[in-house]
Structure 1
Amino acid sequence: MTRTARRTGRPIQVAALGAAALLALSACSSSGSDSSSGASDSASASAPGRVSGAVTVFAAASLKESFTTLGEEFEKAHPGTKVTFSFGGSDSLAASITGGAPADVFASASPKTMAIVTDAGDASGAPATFARNQLEIATLPGNPDKVSSLKDLTGSGLKVVLCDRTVPCGAAAQKALDAGGLKLTPVSYEQDVKAALTKVELKEADAAVVYRTDVHAAGDKVEGVEFPESADAVNDYPIVRLKGARNAGAARAFIALVRSAEGQKILTEAGFLKP
Protein backbone atom coordinates (compact mmCIF):
# COMPACT_ATOMS: atom_id res chain seq x y z
CA MET A 1 0.00 0.00 0.00
CA THR A 2 1.34 3.46 -0.88
CA ARG A 3 1.71 6.23 1.69
CA THR A 4 -1.09 8.14 -0.02
CA ALA A 5 -3.44 5.18 0.23
CA ARG A 6 -2.59 4.66 3.91
CA ARG A 7 -3.18 8.35 4.54
CA THR A 8 -6.62 8.37 2.89
CA GLY A 9 -7.77 4.95 4.15
CA ARG A 10 -8.76 6.11 7.63
CA PRO A 11 -11.11 8.90 6.46
CA ILE A 12 -12.73 6.39 4.06
CA GLN A 13 -13.23 3.92 6.90
CA VAL A 14 -14.69 6.62 9.14
CA ALA A 15 -17.07 7.69 6.41
CA ALA A 16 -18.16 4.09 5.88
CA LEU A 17 -18.72 3.62 9.59
CA GLY A 18 -20.70 6.86 9.69
CA ALA A 19 -22.90 5.72 6.83
CA ALA A 20 -23.47 2.39 8.56
CA ALA A 21 -24.44 4.18 11.76
CA LEU A 22 -26.92 6.32 9.88
CA LEU A 23 -28.45 3.23 8.28
CA ALA A 24 -28.72 1.54 11.66
CA LEU A 25 -30.35 4.64 13.15
CA SER A 26 -32.78 4.75 10.26
CA ALA A 27 -33.63 1.09 10.76
CA CYS A 28 -34.20 1.63 14.49
CA SER A 29 -36.42 4.61 13.74
CA SER A 30 -38.43 2.53 11.28
CA SER A 31 -38.75 -0.29 13.81
CA GLY A 32 -39.90 2.16 16.46
CA SER A 33 -42.64 3.57 14.27
CA ASP A 34 -43.90 0.04 13.51
CA SER A 35 -44.35 -0.59 17.23
CA SER A 36 -47.16 1.96 17.21
CA SER A 37 -50.30 0.02 16.26
CA GLY A 38 -51.99 3.04 14.73
CA ALA A 39 -49.06 3.91 12.50
CA SER A 40 -48.38 0.35 11.40
CA ASP A 41 -52.06 -0.40 10.78
CA SER A 42 -52.46 2.68 8.60
CA ALA A 43 -49.31 1.83 6.65
CA SER A 44 -50.43 -1.75 6.11
CA ALA A 45 -53.84 -0.65 4.84
CA SER A 46 -52.46 1.92 2.41
CA ALA A 47 -49.61 -0.11 0.90
CA PRO A 48 -50.86 -3.00 -1.27
CA GLY A 49 -48.49 -5.96 -1.27
CA ARG A 50 -47.22 -5.48 2.28
CA VAL A 51 -49.51 -8.22 3.60
CA SER A 52 -50.49 -11.58 2.17
CA GLY A 53 -52.06 -14.88 3.11
CA ALA A 54 -55.29 -15.77 4.87
CA VAL A 55 -56.95 -13.75 7.62
CA THR A 56 -59.89 -15.07 9.65
CA VAL A 57 -62.41 -12.60 11.05
CA PHE A 58 -65.04 -13.46 13.66
CA ALA A 59 -67.78 -10.81 13.45
CA ALA A 60 -71.24 -10.09 14.83
CA ALA A 61 -74.07 -11.26 12.58
CA SER A 62 -75.23 -7.68 12.00
CA LEU A 63 -71.92 -6.94 10.26
CA LYS A 64 -72.39 -9.58 7.57
CA GLU A 65 -73.23 -7.32 4.62
CA SER A 66 -70.82 -4.49 5.37
CA PHE A 67 -67.90 -6.73 6.37
CA THR A 68 -68.38 -8.91 3.29
CA THR A 69 -67.97 -5.76 1.20
CA LEU A 70 -64.94 -4.72 3.24
CA GLY A 71 -63.43 -8.16 2.77
CA GLU A 72 -63.73 -7.83 -1.00
CA GLU A 73 -62.12 -4.39 -0.88
CA PHE A 74 -59.31 -5.73 1.29
CA GLU A 75 -58.51 -8.56 -1.12
CA LYS A 76 -58.44 -6.10 -4.02
CA ALA A 77 -56.06 -3.78 -2.16
CA HIS A 78 -53.82 -6.65 -1.06
CA PRO A 79 -53.42 -9.21 -3.86
CA GLY A 80 -52.60 -12.62 -2.45
CA THR A 81 -54.81 -12.24 0.64
CA LYS A 82 -57.97 -14.16 1.48
CA VAL A 83 -60.46 -13.04 4.11
CA THR A 84 -62.60 -15.71 5.73
CA PHE A 85 -65.52 -14.65 7.91
CA SER A 86 -67.43 -16.38 10.68
CA PHE A 87 -70.62 -14.46 11.49
CA GLY A 88 -72.86 -15.16 14.47
CA GLY A 89 -73.99 -14.03 17.89
CA SER A 90 -71.20 -12.10 19.58
CA ASP A 91 -71.43 -14.17 22.75
CA SER A 92 -71.08 -17.44 20.84
CA LEU A 93 -68.13 -16.10 18.86
CA ALA A 94 -66.44 -14.86 22.03
CA ALA A 95 -66.91 -18.27 23.65
CA SER A 96 -65.38 -19.94 20.59
CA ILE A 97 -62.35 -17.65 20.74
CA THR A 98 -61.73 -18.25 24.44
CA GLY A 99 -62.20 -21.95 23.73
CA GLY A 100 -59.30 -21.90 21.30
CA ALA A 101 -60.96 -21.40 17.90
CA PRO A 102 -58.38 -20.03 15.43
CA ALA A 103 -59.09 -16.44 14.42
CA ASP A 104 -57.14 -13.27 13.72
CA VAL A 105 -59.74 -10.53 14.34
CA PHE A 106 -62.84 -10.21 16.51
CA ALA A 107 -65.53 -7.59 15.86
CA SER A 108 -68.25 -7.61 18.50
CA ALA A 109 -71.66 -5.92 18.71
CA SER A 110 -71.07 -4.75 22.27
CA PRO A 111 -68.28 -3.98 24.75
CA LYS A 112 -69.77 -6.56 27.15
CA THR A 113 -69.21 -9.46 24.77
CA MET A 114 -65.80 -8.10 23.79
CA ALA A 115 -64.90 -8.18 27.50
CA ILE A 116 -65.29 -11.98 27.44
CA VAL A 117 -62.28 -12.10 25.12
CA THR A 118 -60.20 -9.36 26.73
CA ASP A 119 -60.77 -10.67 30.26
CA ALA A 120 -59.55 -14.08 29.12
CA GLY A 121 -56.35 -12.49 27.84
CA ASP A 122 -57.06 -13.44 24.23
CA ALA A 123 -56.85 -9.92 22.76
CA SER A 124 -53.72 -8.20 21.51
CA GLY A 125 -53.99 -4.58 22.60
CA ALA A 126 -57.06 -2.57 23.50
CA PRO A 127 -60.25 -2.91 21.41
CA ALA A 128 -61.27 0.14 19.34
CA THR A 129 -64.88 1.20 18.76
CA PHE A 130 -65.44 1.43 15.00
CA ALA A 131 -69.24 1.82 14.73
CA ARG A 132 -72.48 2.10 16.66
CA ASN A 133 -75.90 0.60 15.96
CA GLN A 134 -79.46 1.43 16.91
CA LEU A 135 -82.55 -0.76 17.19
CA GLU A 136 -85.57 -0.71 14.91
CA ILE A 137 -88.75 -2.75 14.66
CA ALA A 138 -88.99 -4.98 11.60
CA THR A 139 -92.54 -5.68 10.50
CA LEU A 140 -94.09 -7.50 7.57
CA PRO A 141 -94.02 -5.54 4.30
CA GLY A 142 -96.64 -2.82 4.32
CA ASN A 143 -96.86 -3.02 8.13
CA PRO A 144 -100.31 -4.72 8.09
CA ASP A 145 -100.56 -4.66 11.89
CA LYS A 146 -100.02 -0.87 11.94
CA VAL A 147 -97.16 -1.06 14.41
CA SER A 148 -96.03 2.46 15.24
CA SER A 149 -94.33 2.09 18.63
CA LEU A 150 -92.53 -0.35 20.90
CA LYS A 151 -95.65 -0.42 23.08
CA ASP A 152 -97.67 -1.77 20.16
CA LEU A 153 -95.60 -4.95 20.30
CA THR A 154 -96.92 -5.74 23.78
CA GLY A 155 -100.48 -6.08 22.49
CA SER A 156 -102.10 -9.49 22.41
CA GLY A 157 -102.32 -11.32 19.11
CA LEU A 158 -98.97 -10.15 17.76
CA LYS A 159 -96.23 -12.71 17.26
CA VAL A 160 -93.03 -10.90 18.21
CA VAL A 161 -89.48 -12.25 18.11
CA LEU A 162 -86.51 -10.98 20.13
CA CYS A 163 -82.85 -11.87 20.21
CA ASP A 164 -81.77 -13.86 23.23
CA ARG A 165 -80.81 -11.59 26.13
CA THR A 166 -77.30 -12.99 26.16
CA VAL A 167 -76.54 -11.49 22.73
CA PRO A 168 -76.12 -7.74 22.18
CA CYS A 169 -79.32 -7.16 20.18
CA GLY A 170 -81.35 -8.94 22.86
CA ALA A 171 -79.71 -7.04 25.69
CA ALA A 172 -80.33 -3.78 23.83
CA ALA A 173 -84.00 -4.67 23.25
CA GLN A 174 -84.46 -5.37 26.95
CA LYS A 175 -82.81 -2.07 27.78
CA ALA A 176 -85.21 -0.26 25.44
CA LEU A 177 -88.19 -2.04 26.97
CA ASP A 178 -87.00 -1.09 30.45
CA ALA A 179 -86.60 2.52 29.34
CA GLY A 180 -90.22 2.55 28.23
CA GLY A 181 -91.46 0.67 31.30
CA LEU A 182 -92.72 -2.11 29.03
CA LYS A 183 -92.92 -5.88 29.32
CA LEU A 184 -92.93 -8.15 26.32
CA THR A 185 -93.12 -11.92 26.05
CA PRO A 186 -91.90 -12.98 22.60
CA VAL A 187 -92.92 -16.15 20.80
CA SER A 188 -89.22 -17.00 20.58
CA TYR A 189 -85.74 -15.83 21.51
CA GLU A 190 -83.19 -16.17 18.70
CA GLN A 191 -79.43 -16.67 18.96
CA ASP A 192 -78.53 -13.76 16.68
CA VAL A 193 -80.16 -10.80 14.98
CA LYS A 194 -80.27 -12.42 11.52
CA ALA A 195 -82.24 -15.35 12.90
CA ALA A 196 -84.74 -12.95 14.48
CA LEU A 197 -85.14 -11.04 11.23
CA THR A 198 -85.57 -14.23 9.21
CA LYS A 199 -88.64 -15.12 11.29
CA VAL A 200 -90.34 -11.98 9.95
CA GLU A 201 -89.07 -12.48 6.40
CA LEU A 202 -90.58 -15.98 6.39
CA LYS A 203 -93.81 -14.62 7.93
CA GLU A 204 -93.35 -16.83 10.97
CA ALA A 205 -93.56 -13.69 13.12
CA ASP A 206 -95.35 -10.36 12.78
CA ALA A 207 -92.47 -8.27 14.07
CA ALA A 208 -88.97 -8.43 15.53
CA VAL A 209 -86.75 -5.98 17.36
CA VAL A 210 -83.50 -5.89 15.38
CA TYR A 211 -80.87 -3.39 14.29
CA ARG A 212 -81.63 -0.69 11.76
CA THR A 213 -78.76 -2.05 9.67
CA ASP A 214 -80.55 -5.39 9.35
CA VAL A 215 -83.77 -3.70 8.27
CA HIS A 216 -81.74 -1.77 5.71
CA ALA A 217 -80.08 -4.95 4.43
CA ALA A 218 -83.41 -6.79 4.12
CA GLY A 219 -84.72 -4.27 1.59
CA ASP A 220 -88.40 -4.76 0.72
CA LYS A 221 -88.64 -8.06 2.61
CA VAL A 222 -89.56 -6.13 5.77
CA GLU A 223 -90.64 -2.64 6.80
CA GLY A 224 -88.85 -0.72 9.52
CA VAL A 225 -90.44 1.24 12.34
CA GLU A 226 -88.34 3.58 14.46
CA PHE A 227 -89.08 4.08 18.15
CA PRO A 228 -87.70 6.67 20.61
CA GLU A 229 -86.65 4.16 23.30
CA SER A 230 -83.96 2.90 20.92
CA ALA A 231 -81.91 5.99 21.73
CA ASP A 232 -81.40 4.53 25.22
CA ALA A 233 -80.00 1.29 23.84
CA VAL A 234 -77.37 2.19 21.22
CA ASN A 235 -74.62 -0.43 20.98
CA ASP A 236 -70.93 0.35 20.48
CA TYR A 237 -69.07 -2.07 18.20
CA PRO A 238 -65.44 -2.77 19.21
CA ILE A 239 -62.81 -4.58 17.13
CA VAL A 240 -59.48 -6.11 18.15
CA ARG A 241 -56.63 -8.22 16.85
CA LEU A 242 -56.45 -11.52 18.69
CA LYS A 243 -53.38 -12.69 20.57
CA GLY A 244 -53.37 -16.01 18.75
CA ALA A 245 -53.57 -14.41 15.30
CA ARG A 246 -51.76 -16.51 12.72
CA ASN A 247 -51.47 -13.55 10.36
CA ALA A 248 -50.91 -10.52 12.57
CA GLY A 249 -49.93 -8.25 9.68
CA ALA A 250 -53.09 -8.93 7.71
CA ALA A 251 -55.16 -8.64 10.90
CA ARG A 252 -53.76 -5.17 11.58
CA ALA A 253 -54.34 -4.14 7.97
CA PHE A 254 -57.96 -5.35 8.01
CA ILE A 255 -58.69 -3.45 11.21
CA ALA A 256 -57.09 -0.36 9.69
CA LEU A 257 -59.40 -0.67 6.66
CA VAL A 258 -62.47 -0.96 8.91
CA ARG A 259 -61.46 2.22 10.74
CA SER A 260 -60.39 4.13 7.62
CA ALA A 261 -62.49 6.73 5.79
CA GLU A 262 -63.30 4.13 3.14
CA GLY A 263 -64.38 1.61 5.75
CA GLN A 264 -66.47 4.14 7.63
CA LYS A 265 -68.23 5.11 4.40
CA ILE A 266 -69.24 1.50 3.78
CA LEU A 267 -70.49 1.15 7.35
CA THR A 268 -72.51 4.37 7.37
CA GLU A 269 -74.08 3.48 4.03
CA ALA A 270 -75.20 0.21 5.67
CA GLY A 271 -76.94 2.22 8.41
CA PHE A 272 -74.32 2.16 11.16
CA LEU A 273 -73.69 5.25 13.25
CA LYS A 274 -70.21 6.71 13.48
CA PRO A 275 -68.23 5.81 16.62
Structure 2
Amino acid sequence: MRRVLTALSLVALLPLTACGGGDDDTTLTVLAAASLTGTFTELAATFEEAHPGVEVELVFGSSTTLAEQAVDGAPGDVLATADEASMTVAEDGGVLAGRPEAFASNRLVLVAPADNPAGIESLTDLDDPDVDYVRCAETAPCGSSAVALLDDAGIQSAPASEEVDVKAVLARVTQGEADAGLVYRTDSRAAGDAVREVATDDLDDYGPAYANNYYVAAVDGSVDGSDDATADLAADFVALVTGAEAAEVLGVAGFGGIVRE
Protein backbone atom coordinates (compact mmCIF):
# COMPACT_ATOMS: atom_id res chain seq x y z
CA MET A 1 0.00 0.00 0.00
CA ARG A 2 1.47 3.31 -1.03
CA ARG A 3 2.09 6.05 1.53
CA VAL A 4 1.45 9.76 1.11
CA LEU A 5 3.63 12.10 3.14
CA THR A 6 4.31 15.82 3.38
CA ALA A 7 7.63 17.55 2.93
CA LEU A 8 7.96 17.87 6.72
CA SER A 9 7.64 14.09 7.02
CA LEU A 10 10.57 13.73 4.65
CA VAL A 11 12.95 15.08 7.28
CA ALA A 12 12.24 12.06 9.45
CA LEU A 13 13.24 9.76 6.58
CA LEU A 14 16.74 11.22 6.14
CA PRO A 15 18.60 8.17 7.50
CA LEU A 16 16.60 5.76 5.35
CA THR A 17 17.34 4.37 1.92
CA ALA A 18 14.88 3.86 -0.90
CA CYS A 19 14.72 0.10 -0.49
CA GLY A 20 11.83 -1.58 1.31
CA GLY A 21 12.12 -4.06 4.16
CA GLY A 22 11.48 -7.29 2.26
CA ASP A 23 13.87 -8.98 -0.14
CA ASP A 24 11.29 -8.89 -2.91
CA ASP A 25 9.71 -5.54 -2.08
CA THR A 26 10.95 -2.16 -3.18
CA THR A 27 9.82 1.28 -2.11
CA LEU A 28 10.03 3.99 -4.74
CA THR A 29 10.05 7.43 -3.13
CA VAL A 30 8.56 10.19 -5.28
CA LEU A 31 8.96 13.81 -4.20
CA ALA A 32 6.33 15.94 -5.93
CA ALA A 33 4.80 19.41 -5.90
CA ALA A 34 1.70 19.72 -3.72
CA SER A 35 -0.41 20.62 -6.76
CA LEU A 36 0.26 17.14 -8.16
CA THR A 37 -1.35 15.36 -5.21
CA GLY A 38 -4.44 14.08 -6.98
CA THR A 39 -2.86 13.13 -10.28
CA PHE A 40 0.26 11.52 -8.84
CA THR A 41 -1.81 9.49 -6.38
CA GLU A 42 -3.70 8.09 -9.37
CA LEU A 43 -0.53 7.53 -11.39
CA ALA A 44 1.17 5.83 -8.44
CA ALA A 45 -1.67 3.31 -8.30
CA THR A 46 -1.24 2.67 -12.02
CA PHE A 47 2.50 2.20 -11.56
CA GLU A 48 2.10 -0.21 -8.64
CA GLU A 49 -0.35 -2.30 -10.64
CA ALA A 50 2.19 -2.60 -13.45
CA HIS A 51 5.06 -3.32 -11.03
CA PRO A 52 4.06 -6.00 -8.48
CA GLY A 53 6.08 -5.79 -5.28
CA VAL A 54 6.74 -2.07 -5.68
CA GLU A 55 5.31 0.44 -3.21
CA VAL A 56 5.26 4.08 -4.31
CA GLU A 57 5.81 6.43 -1.40
CA LEU A 58 4.56 9.90 -2.33
CA VAL A 59 5.96 12.95 -0.56
CA PHE A 60 4.17 16.21 -1.41
CA GLY A 61 5.20 19.74 -0.58
CA SER A 62 6.58 22.99 -1.91
CA SER A 63 8.75 22.31 -4.96
CA THR A 64 11.60 24.46 -3.71
CA THR A 65 11.56 22.80 -0.29
CA LEU A 66 11.61 19.33 -1.81
CA ALA A 67 14.49 20.25 -4.14
CA GLU A 68 16.47 21.72 -1.26
CA GLN A 69 15.82 18.65 0.88
CA ALA A 70 17.00 16.43 -1.98
CA VAL A 71 20.24 18.42 -2.15
CA ASP A 72 20.60 18.02 1.62
CA GLY A 73 20.41 14.24 1.23
CA ALA A 74 16.74 13.46 1.84
CA PRO A 75 15.78 10.10 0.33
CA GLY A 76 14.13 10.23 -3.05
CA ASP A 77 14.09 8.40 -6.35
CA VAL A 78 11.98 10.78 -8.45
CA LEU A 79 11.61 14.54 -8.16
CA ALA A 80 8.71 16.38 -9.83
CA THR A 81 8.51 20.15 -9.41
CA ALA A 82 5.96 22.79 -10.38
CA ASP A 83 8.54 24.89 -12.18
CA GLU A 84 11.90 24.65 -13.84
CA ALA A 85 13.60 26.98 -11.35
CA SER A 86 13.00 24.57 -8.47
CA MET A 87 14.36 21.67 -10.50
CA THR A 88 17.45 23.77 -11.23
CA VAL A 89 18.13 23.85 -7.47
CA ALA A 90 18.42 20.06 -7.51
CA GLU A 91 20.32 20.05 -10.79
CA ASP A 92 22.86 22.59 -9.53
CA GLY A 93 23.16 20.55 -6.34
CA GLY A 94 24.33 17.57 -8.37
CA VAL A 95 21.64 15.18 -7.16
CA LEU A 96 19.86 14.39 -10.41
CA ALA A 97 20.61 11.13 -12.15
CA GLY A 98 18.61 11.97 -15.25
CA ARG A 99 17.74 14.88 -17.47
CA PRO A 100 14.64 16.82 -16.31
CA GLU A 101 11.66 16.45 -18.63
CA ALA A 102 8.74 18.88 -18.84
CA PHE A 103 5.38 17.10 -18.75
CA ALA A 104 2.59 19.59 -17.98
CA SER A 105 1.72 23.24 -17.50
CA ASN A 106 -0.55 25.07 -15.10
CA ARG A 107 -1.80 28.59 -14.49
CA LEU A 108 -2.94 30.77 -11.64
CA VAL A 109 -6.56 31.60 -10.92
CA LEU A 110 -8.16 33.69 -8.20
CA VAL A 111 -10.67 31.82 -6.05
CA ALA A 112 -13.07 32.87 -3.32
CA PRO A 113 -15.22 30.83 -0.94
CA ALA A 114 -18.31 29.44 -2.62
CA ASP A 115 -20.55 32.22 -1.29
CA ASN A 116 -17.93 34.90 -2.08
CA PRO A 117 -18.76 36.97 1.04
CA ALA A 118 -16.38 39.80 0.10
CA GLY A 119 -17.89 40.12 -3.37
CA ILE A 120 -14.59 39.65 -5.20
CA GLU A 121 -15.05 40.37 -8.90
CA SER A 122 -11.63 41.53 -10.09
CA LEU A 123 -7.98 41.57 -9.11
CA THR A 124 -8.31 45.22 -8.10
CA ASP A 125 -10.65 44.14 -5.31
CA LEU A 126 -7.59 42.72 -3.55
CA ASP A 127 -6.51 46.30 -2.82
CA ASP A 128 -9.61 46.83 -0.70
CA PRO A 129 -8.35 47.13 2.92
CA ASP A 130 -11.33 45.06 4.07
CA VAL A 131 -10.34 42.12 1.84
CA ASP A 132 -8.06 39.42 3.22
CA TYR A 133 -6.39 37.45 0.45
CA VAL A 134 -3.68 34.79 0.65
CA ARG A 135 -1.01 33.48 -1.67
CA CYS A 136 1.94 31.11 -1.54
CA ALA A 137 5.25 32.23 -0.13
CA GLU A 138 7.50 33.66 -2.82
CA THR A 139 9.96 30.77 -2.42
CA ALA A 140 7.33 28.40 -3.86
CA PRO A 141 6.54 28.38 -7.60
CA CYS A 142 2.91 29.36 -6.94
CA GLY A 143 4.21 32.28 -4.86
CA SER A 144 6.73 33.62 -7.33
CA SER A 145 4.10 33.50 -10.08
CA ALA A 146 1.57 35.22 -7.80
CA VAL A 147 4.01 37.99 -6.90
CA ALA A 148 4.73 38.64 -10.58
CA LEU A 149 1.03 38.71 -11.39
CA LEU A 150 0.17 41.06 -8.53
CA ASP A 151 3.03 43.37 -9.46
CA ASP A 152 1.87 43.49 -13.07
CA ALA A 153 -1.67 44.22 -11.91
CA GLY A 154 -0.46 47.02 -9.66
CA ILE A 155 -1.84 45.45 -6.48
CA GLN A 156 -0.33 47.27 -3.49
CA SER A 157 -2.11 45.50 -0.63
CA ALA A 158 -0.07 42.81 1.14
CA PRO A 159 -1.54 39.33 1.55
CA ALA A 160 -3.05 38.40 4.88
CA SER A 161 -0.70 35.41 4.90
CA GLU A 162 1.88 33.66 2.76
CA GLU A 163 1.40 29.91 2.78
CA VAL A 164 3.97 27.17 2.31
CA ASP A 165 2.26 25.70 -0.77
CA VAL A 166 -0.85 25.94 -2.92
CA LYS A 167 -2.77 23.35 -0.89
CA ALA A 168 -2.39 25.52 2.20
CA VAL A 169 -3.69 28.56 0.28
CA LEU A 170 -6.69 26.59 -0.93
CA ALA A 171 -7.42 25.36 2.61
CA ARG A 172 -7.50 28.93 3.94
CA VAL A 173 -10.10 29.83 1.31
CA THR A 174 -12.29 26.74 1.61
CA GLN A 175 -12.33 27.05 5.40
CA GLY A 176 -13.52 30.64 5.16
CA GLU A 177 -10.31 32.03 6.67
CA ALA A 178 -9.60 34.22 3.63
CA ASP A 179 -11.74 36.20 1.20
CA ALA A 180 -9.69 35.08 -1.79
CA GLY A 181 -6.56 33.20 -2.76
CA LEU A 182 -4.32 32.67 -5.76
CA VAL A 183 -4.08 28.98 -6.59
CA TYR A 184 -3.53 26.82 -9.64
CA ARG A 185 -6.48 26.12 -11.89
CA THR A 186 -6.08 22.41 -11.15
CA ASP A 187 -6.55 23.05 -7.44
CA SER A 188 -9.61 25.16 -8.12
CA ARG A 189 -11.07 22.33 -10.21
CA ALA A 190 -10.27 19.74 -7.53
CA ALA A 191 -12.01 21.87 -4.88
CA GLY A 192 -15.25 21.75 -6.88
CA ASP A 193 -18.17 23.59 -5.31
CA ALA A 194 -16.10 24.58 -2.26
CA VAL A 195 -14.69 27.59 -4.13
CA ARG A 196 -15.75 30.06 -6.79
CA GLU A 197 -13.28 31.01 -9.51
CA VAL A 198 -13.33 34.80 -9.99
CA ALA A 199 -11.59 37.46 -12.05
CA THR A 200 -10.54 34.93 -14.69
CA ASP A 201 -10.74 37.52 -17.48
CA ASP A 202 -8.50 39.84 -15.46
CA LEU A 203 -5.81 37.19 -15.20
CA ASP A 204 -6.04 36.40 -18.91
CA ASP A 205 -5.25 40.06 -19.64
CA TYR A 206 -1.78 39.65 -18.19
CA GLY A 207 -0.57 37.32 -20.90
CA PRO A 208 0.89 33.82 -21.15
CA ALA A 209 3.43 34.11 -18.32
CA TYR A 210 0.88 32.64 -15.92
CA ALA A 211 -0.23 29.91 -18.32
CA ASN A 212 3.22 28.46 -18.87
CA ASN A 213 4.20 27.28 -15.43
CA TYR A 214 5.96 24.12 -16.56
CA TYR A 215 6.13 21.00 -14.41
CA VAL A 216 9.27 18.89 -14.76
CA ALA A 217 10.29 15.45 -13.52
CA ALA A 218 13.65 13.75 -13.19
CA VAL A 219 15.31 10.73 -11.64
CA ASP A 220 16.66 11.82 -8.26
CA GLY A 221 20.02 10.25 -7.44
CA SER A 222 20.37 11.90 -4.02
CA VAL A 223 20.34 8.64 -2.06
CA ASP A 224 23.73 6.97 -1.94
CA GLY A 225 23.58 3.24 -2.47
CA SER A 226 20.37 3.10 -4.50
CA ASP A 227 20.62 -0.06 -6.58
CA ASP A 228 20.28 -0.29 -10.33
CA ALA A 229 16.83 -1.89 -10.06
CA THR A 230 15.49 1.09 -8.09
CA ALA A 231 17.10 3.51 -10.53
CA ASP A 232 15.41 1.66 -13.40
CA LEU A 233 12.07 1.88 -11.59
CA ALA A 234 12.59 5.61 -11.10
CA ALA A 235 13.23 6.00 -14.81
CA ASP A 236 10.07 3.97 -15.51
CA PHE A 237 8.05 6.29 -13.27
CA VAL A 238 9.38 9.38 -15.06
CA ALA A 239 8.51 7.71 -18.37
CA LEU A 240 4.96 7.13 -17.12
CA VAL A 241 4.59 10.73 -15.94
CA THR A 242 5.83 12.13 -19.25
CA GLY A 243 3.85 9.72 -21.41
CA ALA A 244 0.45 9.70 -23.07
CA GLU A 245 -1.38 7.89 -20.25
CA ALA A 246 -0.33 10.52 -17.72
CA ALA A 247 -1.15 13.32 -20.16
CA GLU A 248 -4.75 12.12 -20.20
CA VAL A 249 -4.92 12.01 -16.39
CA LEU A 250 -3.30 15.43 -16.11
CA GLY A 251 -5.62 16.88 -18.74
CA VAL A 252 -8.73 15.73 -16.87
CA ALA A 253 -7.36 17.46 -13.76
CA GLY A 254 -6.96 20.72 -15.67
CA PHE A 255 -3.27 20.71 -16.49
CA GLY A 256 -2.20 21.99 -19.88
CA GLY A 257 0.39 20.74 -22.32
CA ILE A 258 3.85 22.06 -23.10
CA VAL A 259 4.05 24.91 -25.58
CA ARG A 260 7.49 26.33 -26.26
CA GLU A 261 7.87 29.60 -28.14
The two structures share one fold, judged by TM-score above 0.5: yes
Q: Answer yes or no: is 1:242 the counterpart of 2:235.
A: no
| TM-aligned CA distance change 1:191 to 1:57, over 3 Å | same
Q: Which residue of 1 aligns with 2:242?
A: 259
The alignment partner of 1:173 has SS state of helix
Which residue does the alignment assign to 2:191?
Answer: 218
Give the whole-Å Cα distance in 1 for the aligned partners of 2:25 and 2:63. Answer: 27
Q: Distance in 1 between matches of 2:128 and 2:176?
A: 18
Provide the C-alpha distance between the structure 2 equivalents of 1:146 and 1:230, rounded to a whole number of angstroms: 25
State the secondary structure of the residue aligned to 2:159. coil
Superposed displacement of residue 224, structure 1? 1.4
**Superposition pairs of residues 95-134 of structure 1, within 5 angstroms:** 95-134=68-107
Q: Percent identity?
A: 41
TM-score when normalising by structure 1? 0.78
Following TM superposition, by how much is the alpha carbon of 1:77 offset from its aligned partner in structure 2, in angstroms? 1.6
Q: Which residue of structure 1 lines up, in the alignment, with residue 209 of structure 2? A: 232
TM-score normalized by structure 2?
0.82
Q: Contact 1:61–1:193 at 8 Å: present in 2 too?
A: yes
The AA in structure 1 aligned to 2:242 is R
Shift of 1:223: 1.2
Q: Which runs of 5+ in 2 are unaligned?
A: 1-23
RMSD over aligned Cα atoms: 1.6
How far off its partner does 1:230 sit? Answer: 6.5
CA shift at 1:142, angstroms? Answer: 3.2
Aligned to 1:199: 172
1:19 matched residue in structure 2: none
Alpha-carbon distance between aligned partners in 2 of 1:184 and 1:69, rounded to the nearest angstrom: 38
- The aligned counterpart of 2:43 is 70
Which runs of structure 1 show a deviation greater than 4 angstroms over 4 or more consecutive aligned residues?
A: none
User: Is the radius of gyration larger for structure 1 or structure 2?
Assistant: 1
Cα distance in structure 2, aligned partners of 1:212 and 1:179: 19
C-alpha distance in 2, partners of 1:148/1:261?
37
Which residue does 1:82 correspond to in 2?
55
Structure (1 or 2) with the greater helix fraction: 1
State the Cα deviation string for residues 221-260 of structure 1 (Å, max 9, x = none). 1111222236322311111001235311110111111111
The amino acid across from 1:93 in the alignment is: L
CA contact (8 A) 2:70 2:222 kept: no
Counterparts of 1:140 and 1:176, CA distance in 2: 21
User: Hey, what's the Cα distance between the residues in 1 that align with 2:96 and 2:241?
Assistant: 17
| Contact 1:52 1:78 survives alignment (8 Å) | no
- Separation in 1 of the partners of 2:222 and 2:74? 9
